[in-house]
A and B are shown apart, each in its own frame.
Chain A
Amino acid sequence: MSKGIEIRNLNLSYGSSKALNDISLDIKEKQVTAFIGPSGCGKSTLLRCINRLNDLIDSVTMDGEIKIDGIDINSTGYDVTTLRRNVGMVFQKSNPFPMSIYENIAYGLKIGGEQNKGKIDHVVEESLKQAALWEEVKNRLNDSAFGLSGGQQQRLCIARAIAIEPTVLLMDEPCSALDPVATAKIEELITTLKDDFTIVIVTHNMQQASRVSDYTAFLFLGDLIEYDETKKIFLNPGKQQTNDYISGRFG
């Protein structure tokens, strides 16, 4: 059984407009993979295929295969909530629930049926520590999550996502709304998290991709142009289009 995420011949369209065109790639376990590309190239769509968040949109049609650790996530017998518990996600705009900091993290556990208060307390603390937020919030766990700063809110969302112990962590431009200091913190966090999680990150920021990721996929207008080790993509891209994009000639 192969570990990691295997994407084979993935096509996706919104109504009549095609968003992803025959995408095939293998995402390695416990590595950081970055999706880069200009706006509208389909990188977020591809990301949302991995936890089937596109299911919610009525007009989406899709074919192809996505396997996580060898299991086809689109097979009829496979429960989408199980998938999503296994594939956490952090969104572009931080989206804490209108609850306390504690409740935000406990939510996923409670949904999963965890009732043991001691266990929940423990997980809340561990996740916050893992997300490097514990020291900042340990004295106000019962305060509203909306009282946190933007960067703290985003780290809270990361803590919330990792609290339910997924194997994959999807990040959709997690730093696009943050200032450089907060961005640096999150990037640091990503590098520590990759010991435990397979991370897929969508980013507009090429420096960020080169800093944090081990592999990079460049998408353009729904096509996967190039996918390789980050070093290679940035230092010695195989395609002209990739080179143009990375050197800032378009996009």
Chain B
Amino acid sequence: MKKNGSFYIWLTGCMMALSVLLVSGLIGLVMYYGFATFWQKDVALVQLKNNSYIIGEIKKKEINFNNDLTVQLKTGNRDFYGVDFRWIKDSEIQSISYDKEILHIERDEWGSFYGYPKSFEHKDKKITYNKNNKNEFYNLINSSLKDKSSIAKKINVINKKIGEINFKLSELEKEKRVLSRVNLNENKITKLDEKKLKLLNSYKIEEKKLFENIQILNSTKLVVSDIEGATKLLTLVNIIRFNLPNELTLRGKISLYLSKIWEFLSDKPRESNTEGGVFPAIFGTILMVLIMSIAVLPLGVIAAVYLNEYAKQGKTVALIRICVNNLAGVPSIVFGVFGLGFFIYGIGGSIDTLFYQDNLPSPTYGTGGILWASLTLALLTVPVVIVATEESLNAVSKGIRDGSLALGATKWETLRNIIIPTSLPGILTGLILAISRATGEVAPLMITGVVKLAPSMPLDGYFPYLHLERKFMHLGFHIYDVGFQSPNSEAALPMVFSTALLLILIVIVLNSSAILIRNRLKLKHKG
């Protein structure tokens, strides 16, 4: 068997199968839990043997250290019980039923609520819940939620206005500071003060409108109670969405599932990132990778062209090549520290003293931001691009080079017209590898500009639109933060899987688009 080599064929085949198994196992696990996050399970009404009741979603069953079979219930109602989850011994359970009356509310704080409705008050209409007016009761809540979304739109507009006023105010302050520093021009300063007063007035008007709208939301009151009869008053502000989980049809569940996925992709996070969406993190991740690509591609390609085409091959170049290769193995956190020292404190600090004097002592570029994080990652991935580019430049046959030179082309013309276009697919392969590495990297970002919750996105409607100095959110860091820095990590667990799945999907999308471009180029250069 050894002699004819079939042993080695088996060995290589087994190793390949093992790798495929590991990868598909990982992706399968992440996909299973990631997709399960948004599915509304039935909510159980558990009767215990001591005749008390618990409401909750059955999460899993496990045999604990005492060899008892225990059941984990997601009971929600953190404001009532202090925790989201409870472990119950299977032996204590008398019966499990699925009561159709159970109400599930997603709230803006304290997590989910599971329990029963009591009464609802909306625009001087008040109804007390009983089984006969169930439809009327929930229809009223639904219509008030519709009102809420229109009011929320108004609030958004007002918030935007307030944001603009704040922006103008800070600009005024800056102007004033500059003026008072340079010379005392009383006239101008009084003019500025007048402007400021106007702005403050309009601010007050907007603020009043805002409070009025919030007042409307707060005037709509829903009283609910948990299984033990403890009541809680919720206003429209608190209610994100509600459903009757045990009454949902399959269709209802699917549409709820899709709307929750949409919320996840398009909304901001809530409840210290454990609920809501991850849109700012998706946006931050993609923007960062794009800026990194813009930085790393010319840097790596030009360096590789010099190394491979122009530099005199000798000991120095060999040494540089070894250094570049070793750079790819330096721990990423070291790059982070370098980015902090060089980009943020060094370059950023100088930019601040030169151009943003007015803002000091609060830093503009002298603190972590998306530009510095992207450049740090560009530095981290530049060896990959250099190596890939050099390889593909080397692969261009000598015949083609000589052919071009023999036609009277200079070395640069040959490079530009023949060699670089021919090796472009290889260069793009390097970029793909760089993107994959950069998208998954977290450690260096933590000290160069990633935050748990960014107040504003790096791209918005205010001049100059792209704010490269701003801090940003990132999916990789989001996973770390939600999974390991959250006070309620058990409740956040599904989010970790969903975010991980999303990150993997983004890497796949970025990669496949780069591969697509590469293949088109390959075709083009074949004619």
**How far apart sit A66 and B111, CA to CA, in the bound complex (Å)?**
89
Given known pairs A58-B312, A144-B526, A147-B527, the reply for A97 and B409 (CB within 8 Å) is: no
Residues of B close to A147: CB separation below 8 A:
527
Given known pairs A93-B399, A97-B400, A98-B421, the reply for A146 and B527 (CB within 8 Å) is: yes
Given known pairs A81-B408, A108-B408, A144-B526, the reply for A157 and B422 (CB within 8 Å) is: no
Given known pairs A91-B402, A108-B408, A111-B408, the reply for A144 and B527 (CB within 8 Å) is: yes
Residue B397 lies at the interface, judged by CB distance under 8 Å to chain A? yes
The smallest beta-carbon distance between A75 and chain B, in angstroms, is 18
Residues of A close to B418: CB separation below 8 A:
97-98
Chain B residue with the shortest CB-CB distance to A82: B408
Q: Do residues A107 and B404 form an inter-chain contact, with CB atoms below 8 A?
A: yes
Q: Do residues A100 and B402 form an inter-chain contact, with CB atoms below 8 A?
A: no
Residue A143 lies at the interface, judged by CB distance under 8 Å to chain B? yes
Within 8 A of B (CB), among A76-98: 81-85, 88-89, 91, 93, 95-98
The smallest beta-carbon distance between B314 and chain A, in angstroms, is 10
Q: Which of A95, A99, A107 contacts B402 (CB 8 A)?
A: A95
Chain A residue with the shortest CB-CB distance to B525: A98
Residue A184 lies at the interface, judged by CB distance under 8 Å to chain B? no
Within 8 A of A (CB), among B414-468: 417-418, 421-422
Contact with B along A149-161 (1 / 0, CB 8 A): 0000000010011
Q: Do residues B413 and A111 form an inter-chain contact, with CB atoms below 8 A?
A: yes
Residues of B close to A81: CB separation below 8 A:
408-410
**How far apart sit A174 and B303, CA to CA, in the bound complex (Å)?**
37
Q: Do residues A88 and B404 form an inter-chain contact, with CB atoms below 8 A?
A: no
Residues of A close to B526: CB separation below 8 A:
98, 144, 146
Residues of B close to A84: CB separation below 8 A:
405-408
Given known pairs A58-B312, A144-B527, A145-B527, the reply for A112 and B399 (CB within 8 Å) is: no
Residue A164 lies at the interface, judged by CB distance under 8 Å to chain B? yes
Within 8 A of B (CB), among A104-121: 107-108, 111-112
**How far apart sit A146 and B421, CA to CA, in the bound complex (Å)?**
16
Residues of A close to B403: CB separation below 8 A:
91, 95-97, 157, 160
Given known pairs A53-B402, A58-B312, the reply for A100 and B407 (CB within 8 Å) is: no
Residues of A close to B400: CB separation below 8 A:
95, 97-98
State which size class the interface on B falls in: 20 to 34
**How far apart sit A84 and B526, CA to CA, in the bound complex (Å)?**
27
The smallest beta-carbon distance between A156 and chain B, in angstroms, is 11
Q: Do residues B399 and A160 form an inter-chain contact, with CB atoms below 8 A?
A: no
Q: Do residues B527 and A99 form an inter-chain contact, with CB atoms below 8 A?
A: yes
**How far apart sit A82 and B406, CA to CA, in the bound complex (Å)?**
10
**How far apart sit A88 and B402, CA to CA, in the bound complex (Å)?**
11
Residues of B close to A127: CB separation below 8 A:
none
Given known pairs A93-B399, A97-B400, A98-B421, the reply for A107 and B527 (CB within 8 Å) is: no
Q: Do residues A161 and B402 form an inter-chain contact, with CB atoms below 8 A?
A: no
Residues of B close to A97: CB separation below 8 A:
400, 403-404, 418
Residue A230 lies at the interface, judged by CB distance under 8 Å to chain B? no
Residues of A close to B527: CB separation below 8 A:
98-100, 142-147
Q: Do residues A53 and B525 form an inter-chain contact, with CB atoms below 8 A?
A: no
Q: Do residues B404 and A164 form an inter-chain contact, with CB atoms below 8 A?
A: no
Residue A56 lies at the interface, judged by CB distance under 8 Å to chain B? yes
Contact with A along B329-360 (1 / 0, CB 8 A): 00000000000000000000000000000000
**How far apart sit A33 and B405, CA to CA, in the bound complex (Å)?**
23
The smallest beta-carbon distance between A55 and chain B, in angstroms, is 9
**How far apart sit A84 and B404, CA to CA, in the bound complex (Å)?**
10
Q: Do residues A85 and B525 form an inter-chain contact, with CB atoms below 8 A?
A: no
**How far apart sit A80 and B219, CA to CA, in the bound complex (Å)?**
88
Q: Do residues B407 and A164 form an inter-chain contact, with CB atoms below 8 A?
A: yes
Residues of B close to A142: CB separation below 8 A:
527
Q: Do residues A95 and B407 form an inter-chain contact, with CB atoms below 8 A?
A: no
The smallest beta-carbon distance between B492 and chain A, in angstroms, is 53
Most buried by B among A51, A56, A99: A99
Chain A residue with the shortest CB-CB distance to B312: A58
Residues of B close to A144: CB separation below 8 A:
526-527
Residues of A close to B413: CB separation below 8 A:
111
Within 8 A of A (CB), among B268-313: 312
Q: Do residues A53 and B417 form an inter-chain contact, with CB atoms below 8 A?
A: no
The smallest beta-carbon distance between A128 and chain B, in angstroms, is 16
**How far apart sit A245 and B410, CA to CA, in the bound complex (Å)?**
40
The smallest beta-carbon distance between B395 and chain A, in angstroms, is 12
Chain B residue with the shortest CB-CB distance to A87: B406
**How far apart sit A84 and B407, CA to CA, in the bound complex (Å)?**
6
Chain A residue with the shortest CB-CB distance to B522: A98
**How far apart sit A146 and B397, CA to CA, in the bound complex (Å)?**
14
Contact with B along A130-150 (1 / 0, CB 8 A): 000000000000111111000
**How far apart sit A179 and B51, CA to CA, in the bound complex (Å)?**
97
Q: Do residues A164 and B402 form an inter-chain contact, with CB atoms below 8 A?
A: no
Most buried by A among B397, B409, B421: B409
Chain B residue with the shortest CB-CB distance to A145: B527
Residues of B close to A143: CB separation below 8 A:
527
**How far apart sit A83 and B407, CA to CA, in the bound complex (Å)?**
9
The smallest beta-carbon distance between B428 and chain A, in angstroms, is 15
**How far apart sit A147 and B523, CA to CA, in the bound complex (Å)?**
13
Q: Do residues A111 and B402 form an inter-chain contact, with CB atoms below 8 A?
A: no
Within 8 A of B (CB), among A39-71: 51, 53, 56, 58
Chain B residue with the shortest CB-CB distance to A104: B403
The smallest beta-carbon distance between A28 and chain B, in angstroms, is 22
A95-B400, A111-B409 known; 6 new pairs, CB 8 Å cut-off, are A81-B408, A85-B408, A89-B406, A93-B399, A111-B407, A146-B526
Binding site for B on A (CB under 8 A): 51, 53, 56, 58, 81-85, 88-89, 91, 93, 95-100, 107-108, 111-112, 142-147, 157, 160-161, 164
Q: Across chains A and B, which 8 residue pairs bring their CB atoms closest together, nearest first?
A: A144-B527, A95-B399, A85-B408, A89-B406, A108-B407, A84-B408, A95-B403, A81-B408
Q: List 11 A-B contacts (CB under 8 A).
A: A84-B405, A88-B406, A89-B406, A91-B406, A95-B402, A97-B404, A98-B422, A98-B526, A107-B417, A111-B417, A161-B407
